[in-house]
């Protein structure tokens, strides 16, 4: 049905440009602030325009795709595909991104770390766009996880503050754990469908839904989406995420990231929806979320917290709508998603401006701000009215459609509608609080010292709130260009009602009116409700619930691991090495024994054949090695031992040279040198004595060491018997032709087997991180005078300094 168009590079570029922007912006620290606010949104604007150019194709029912091969032999491909749903979401991401970046430029002022924030924001944007445009489920998942990580970095931006760190950790734990479960679901789905391309899965829907793993798939994907979109019982991380700077809250936690779960549910609807399990679960969880979110909102006084809880409720509405399903549900969900992003983003930015300019976000301390902040106030009013859902605003149509599409839902339709009405009542109350209490009324102290926000921070709220009216007045255009194509990606059929400025006087309007009345009532009752609620919650111990469970788990994790480590690890390097060596022996012996007895005969013949081929210099070097090794073992001083080991190393390198492996020898020389340097530096810290083990222990250690040596010898001899492998011959032959280099070793490292080298470098980097942590996290007290133990005793509890690692 849909005609496919090739996207050239536009889709990939729209994802790559934010990442590029993230790098560029890291160097923007020296730019004056005014310039920053103007330049900062440009990459986002570029992405927005790149995507906008496809609007016409999408509106006509077409699809834009760009397939990319990543590792074709493994079947991994990054296929980008832009359909209605993707376009809607991507335009939101990029468009609101432009406004948020300008806002952030103004908000962060002269904060010396601000480029970190900008950089992370752009990384997030790139990852979100990647998620929206991916057709391959695995690629989508990777972008999903990147958004979790960047969200963590953004929430924890003020990393010197305990609550920022804790909120970030909670958010990451919940979303990443959900991500793991999601991965399981994705893999199962891929196996059941036979492909990871979502567009191809649509053809196999019946087979997939009949598959025995289908209930597990549903559960896993649900959990993944619920954690990301803060559905009950995973809702608690979202209010905590308000510790982030407001640009982050406005972008991630209202307009884009939290909607990712909703997005994925919508994206997979054609494949997964249709069963009673789908509908029931989504409607119930969604409705519960609405109730919990809206209910808890009434207990808060902080502007951002109010908005956060109401966002939880709104996400619940969207989930419920997707559960309701059908063309109506999908249409309403898309309309709601759009309208919500507009007014919520605006309101968050307003909250941030209020905080920035007046110094507080506490609704008890604010009042009469309108005089000082007219522009922001106007934006707040317009967005607030959309939130309440009055006619003339985008929020109205969204709400009406929501109510209408929920009524046909079997069993739970009534509950869902009641939940939505309650949620919108609370939302309306919040909007009224913002308008009536914060901006109108008598100016309070905080208001008196406030001033209007800079243009960069006014831009976002004004644009978004005006857009709310604009799209309401242009409803038919919005419908045909954006909402209908998005709906088409989710569900077949046509909606019964489109986007209109006003609908008839039916009972749904009555429900809405009920909501408005309730909102007004709640507005007046709010202070007392909040007081009473806070008295209940502030009392005694914190309330039991998922958040408490997570906090207990996180707090208990460190002592718990510490207790285990203290049992297992004594802190003595000697013991660790012994255990490693012993395990090595055990595993290799098992392998050898399983292989069969044939290895014995081969060994001996080989040994005989090489016996006659020794030359003089080889003999000399081997003698040096043997003598040096013995010296290393029996030496009485540490430096002597290390020097002897160094000699062994250099001699081995000499052997490499003799056998024609200059690269290996070179590297061996260099590594040996550096190792000696490191040893010397470390020796400074070791105590001035050594624990000399008992006789029996000495024999144990010696026998383990000798056994390891013998095993290694046997292994090497065995490998030599095998005929020269085909792979190495191929490498040598093709090194010049394909790899353009005569040095086979290097060509292998950076060309033929470059993927392995990439992994090795990462290991090096992680090792460096580990060493840094070990060295920097040691407690700084002076070393206590530790008496050398009696000769035969090995201390069981090592001193703190060594165990602390």
Partner 1 sequence: MSLWLLLRGHNEPGGGFSGGLIGAIALVVYMFGFGPEATRRVLSVRPMTMIGLGMFFATISGLLAFFLGAPYLKAYWTVLPPWNPDGYKLGTPLLFDIGVYLVVVGTMLNIILLLDEERKE
- Closest distance to partner 1 from the beta carbon of 562 (Å): 24
| Structure tokens that stand for 239 in this block | 């209010």
- Closest distance to partner 1 from the beta carbon of 19 (Å): 10
**For residues 22 and 188, which CB has a smaller minimum distance to partner 1 in the complex?**
22
| Structure tokens that stand for 740 in this block | 């353009």
- Closest distance to partner 1 from the beta carbon of 27 (Å): 13
Q: Do residues 160 and 112 touch, judged by C-beta distance below 8 A?
A: no
The footprint of partner 1 (CB under 8 A) covers 9, 12, 68-73, 662-663, 666-667, 670-671, 673-674, 677-678, 681-682, 684-685, 739-743, 745-747, 749-751, 754-755, 757-758, 761-762, 764-765, 767-769, 771-772, 775-776
Residue 103 DSSP code: H
Q: Do residues 264 and 330 touch, judged by C-beta distance below 8 A?
A: no
Place of tokens 């020898």: 665
For 286, 317, 500, 791, the CA distances from 399, given in Å and listed in that order, are: 15, 10, 12, 82
**For residues 12 and 632, which CB has a smaller minimum distance to partner 1 in the complex?**
12
Spatial CA neighbour of 263 closest among 15, 57, 490 = 490
**For residues 593 and 738, which CB has a smaller minimum distance to partner 1 in the complex?**
738
| Structure tokens that stand for 745 in this block | 């070793």
**For residues 702 and 754, which CB has a smaller minimum distance to partner 1 in the complex?**
754
**For residues 73 and 724, which CB has a smaller minimum distance to partner 1 in the complex?**
73
Q: Both ends of the chain: CA-CA distance in Å? A: 62
**For residues 196 and 412, which CB has a smaller minimum distance to partner 1 in the complex?**
196
User: Can you tell me whether residue 63 is helix, strand or coil?
Assistant: strand
Sheet of strand 76-82: strand arrangement: 4-6, 63-71, 76-82
User: Can you tell me whether residue 795 is helix, strand or coil?
Assistant: coil
| Residue burial 134-147, b: 16+ Cβ < 10 Å; e: rest | bbbbbbbbbbbbbb
- Closest distance to partner 1 from the beta carbon of 16 (Å): 8
Q: Do residues 468 and 386 touch, judged by C-beta distance below 8 A?
A: yes
- Closest distance to partner 1 from the beta carbon of 76 (Å): 9
d(CA 33, CA 40): 10
**For residues 338 and 656, which CB has a smaller minimum distance to partner 1 in the complex?**
656
**For residues 60 and 764, which CB has a smaller minimum distance to partner 1 in the complex?**
764
| Structure tokens that stand for 401 in this block | 């459609």
**For residues 9 and 604, which CB has a smaller minimum distance to partner 1 in the complex?**
9
User: Can you tell me whether residue 71 is helix, strand or coil?
Assistant: strand
**For residues 26 and 440, which CB has a smaller minimum distance to partner 1 in the complex?**
26
Q: Any residues with CB less than 8 A from the CB of 124 and at least 6 apart, and which?
A: 146, 147, 150, 151, 154, 251, 252, 257
**For residues 72 and 596, which CB has a smaller minimum distance to partner 1 in the complex?**
72
Please state, as a whole number, how many other Cβ atoms lie within 10 Å of the Cβ of residue 684.
6
| Structure tokens that stand for 35 in this block | 């310039």
**For residues 721 and 761, which CB has a smaller minimum distance to partner 1 in the complex?**
761
Q: Do residues 491 and 330 touch, judged by C-beta distance below 8 A?
A: yes
- Closest distance to partner 1 from the beta carbon of 786 (Å): 18
- Answer left, alpha or beta for residue 441, where phi above 0 means left and psi between -120 and 50 means alpha: left
Q: Do residues 51 and 94 touch, judged by C-beta distance below 8 A?
A: yes
- Closest distance to partner 1 from the beta carbon of 774 (Å): 9
- Closest distance to partner 1 from the beta carbon of 737 (Å): 12
Q: Provide the greatest CA pair distance for the chain.
A: 106
**For residues 505 and 781, which CB has a smaller minimum distance to partner 1 in the complex?**
781
**For residues 23 and 626, which CB has a smaller minimum distance to partner 1 in the complex?**
23
- Closest distance to partner 1 from the beta carbon of 768 (Å): 4
- Closest distance to partner 1 from the beta carbon of 632 (Å): 22
Spatial CA neighbour of 515 closest among 428, 431, 434 = 428
Pairing of strands 76-82, 4-6: unpaired
**For residues 652 and 708, which CB has a smaller minimum distance to partner 1 in the complex?**
652
Q: Do residues 263 and 294 touch, judged by C-beta distance below 8 A?
A: no
**For residues 541 and 782, which CB has a smaller minimum distance to partner 1 in the complex?**
782
| Structure tokens that stand for 523 in this block | 């507005």
d(CA 800, CA 805): 9
Spatial CA neighbour of 129 closest among 51, 185, 24 = 51
- Closest distance to partner 1 from the beta carbon of 220 (Å): 28
3-state helix, strand, coil in the chain (%, to 5): 75, 5, 25
Q: Do residues 569 and 576 touch, judged by C-beta distance below 8 A?
A: yes
- Closest distance to partner 1 from the beta carbon of 658 (Å): 15
Residue ranges of the alpha helices (H) in 26-161? 33-39, 42-52, 55-59, 84-108, 114-133, 137-155
- Closest distance to partner 1 from the beta carbon of 769 (Å): 8
- Closest distance to partner 1 from the beta carbon of 124 (Å): 18
**For residues 634 and 738, which CB has a smaller minimum distance to partner 1 in the complex?**
738
User: Can you tell me whether residue 393 is helix, strand or coil?
Assistant: coil
Pairing of strands 76-82, 63-71: antiparallel
Residue 77, H or E segment: strand 76-82
Q: Do residues 325 and 283 touch, judged by C-beta distance below 8 A?
A: no
- Closest distance to partner 1 from the beta carbon of 360 (Å): 38
- Closest distance to partner 1 from the beta carbon of 653 (Å): 12
- Closest distance to partner 1 from the beta carbon of 743 (Å): 6
| Residue burial 580-593, b: 16+ Cβ < 10 Å; e: rest | ebeeebeebeeeee
d(CA 294, CA 314): 9
């Amino acid at each position: 049905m849909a005609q496919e168009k090739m996207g050239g590079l536009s889709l990939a570029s729209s994802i790559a440009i934010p990442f590029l922007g993230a790098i560029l912006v890291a160097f923007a620290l020296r730019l004056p602030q005014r310039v920053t606010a103007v330049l900062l949104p440009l990459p986002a604007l570029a992405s927005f325009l790149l995507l906008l150019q496809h609007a016409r194709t999408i509106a006509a029912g077409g699809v834009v795709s760009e397939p990319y091969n990543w590792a074709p032999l493994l079947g991994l491909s990054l296929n980008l595909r832009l359909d209605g749903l993707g376009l809607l979401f991507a335009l939101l991401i990029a468009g609101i991104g432009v406004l948020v970046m300008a806002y952030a430029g103004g908000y962060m002022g002269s904060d010396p770390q601000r480029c970190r924030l900008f950089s992370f924001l752009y990384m997030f944007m790139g990852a979100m766009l990647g998620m929206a445009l991916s057709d391959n489920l695995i690629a989508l998942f990777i972008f999903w996880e990147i958004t979790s990580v960047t969200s963590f970095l953004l929430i924890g931006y003020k990393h010197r503050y305990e609550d920022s760190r804790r909120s970030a950790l909670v958010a990451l734990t919940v979303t990443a754990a959900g991500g793991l479960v999601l991965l399981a679901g994705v893999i199962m789905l891929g196996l059941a469908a036979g492909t990871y391309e979502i567009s191809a899965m649509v053809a196999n829907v019946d087979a997939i839904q009949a598959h025995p793993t289908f209930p597990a798939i549903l559960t896993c994907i649900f959990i993944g989406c619920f954690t990301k979109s803060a559905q009950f019982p995973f809702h608690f991380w979202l209010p905590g995420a308000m510790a982030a700077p407001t640009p982050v809250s406005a972008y991630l936690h209202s307009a884009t990231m939290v909607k990712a779960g909703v997005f994925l549910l919508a994206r997979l609807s054609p494949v997964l929806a249709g069963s009673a399990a789908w509908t029931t679960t989504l409607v119930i969880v969604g409705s519960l979320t609405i109730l919990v979110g809206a209910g808890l909102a009434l207990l808060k006084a902080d502007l951002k917290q109010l908005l956060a809880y109401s966002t939880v409720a709104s996400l619940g509405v969207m989930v419920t709508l997707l559960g309701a399903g059908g063309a109506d549900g999908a249409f309403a969900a898309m309309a709601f998603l759009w309208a919500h992003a507009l007014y919520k983003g605006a309101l968050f930015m307003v909250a941030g401006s209020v905080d920035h300019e007046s110094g507080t976000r506490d609704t008890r301390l604010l009042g009469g701000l309108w005089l000082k902040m007219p522009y922001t106030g106007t934006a707040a009013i317009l967005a607030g009215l959309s939130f309440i859902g009055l006619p003339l605003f985008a929020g109205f149509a969204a709400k009406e459609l929501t109510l209408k599409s929920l009524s046909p839902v079997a069993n739970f339709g009534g509950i869902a509608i009641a939940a939505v009405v309650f949620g919108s009542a609370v939302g309306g109350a919040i909007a009224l609080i913002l308008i009536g209490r914060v901006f109108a009324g008598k100016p309070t102290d905080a208001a008196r010292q406030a001033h209007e926000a800079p243009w960069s921070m006014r831009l976002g709220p004004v644009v978004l709130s005006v857009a709310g009216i604009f799209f309401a007045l242009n409803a038919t255009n919005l419908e045909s260009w954006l909402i209908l194509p998005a709906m088409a990606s989710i569900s077949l059929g046509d909606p019964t009602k489109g986007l209109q400025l006003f609908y008839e006087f039916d009972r749904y309007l009555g429900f809405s009116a009920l909501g408005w009345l309730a909102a007004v009532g709640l507005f007046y009752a709010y202070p007392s409700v909040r007081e009473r609620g806070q008295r209940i919650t502030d009392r005694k111990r914190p309330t039991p619930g998922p958040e408490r469970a997570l906090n207990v788990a996180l707090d208990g994790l460190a002592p718990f691991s510490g207790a285990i480590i203290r049992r297992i690890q004594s802190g003595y390097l000697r013991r660790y090495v012994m255990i490693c060596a012993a395990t090595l022996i055990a595993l290799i012996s098992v392998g050898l024994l399983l292989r069969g007895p044939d290895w014995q005969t081969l060994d001996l013949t080989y040994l005989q054949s090489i016996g006659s081929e020794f030359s003089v210099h080889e003999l000399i070097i081997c003698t040096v090695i043997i003598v040096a090794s013995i010296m290393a073992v029996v030496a009485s001083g540490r430096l002597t031992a290390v020097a002897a080991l160094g000699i062994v190393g250099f001699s081995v390198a000499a052997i490499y040279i003799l056998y024609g492996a200059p690269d290996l020898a070179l590297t061996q020389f260099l590594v040996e040198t550096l190792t000696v340097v490191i040893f010397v530096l470390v020796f400074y810290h070791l105590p001035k004595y050594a624990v000399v083990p008992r006789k029996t222990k000495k024999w144990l250690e010696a026998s383990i060491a000798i056994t390891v040596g013998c095993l290694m010898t046997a292994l090497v001899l065995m490998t030599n018997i095998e005929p020269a492998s085909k792979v190495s011959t191929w490498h040598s032959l093709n090194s010049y032709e394909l790899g353009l280099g005569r040095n086979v070793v290097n060509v292998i490292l950076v060309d033929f087997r470059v993927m392995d080298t990439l992994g090795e470098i990462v290991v090096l980097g992680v090792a460096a991180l580990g060493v840094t942590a070990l060295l920097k996290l040691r407690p700084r007290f002076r070393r206590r005078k530790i008496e050398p133990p009696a000769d035969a005793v090995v201390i069981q509890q090592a001193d703190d300094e060594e165990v602390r690692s």
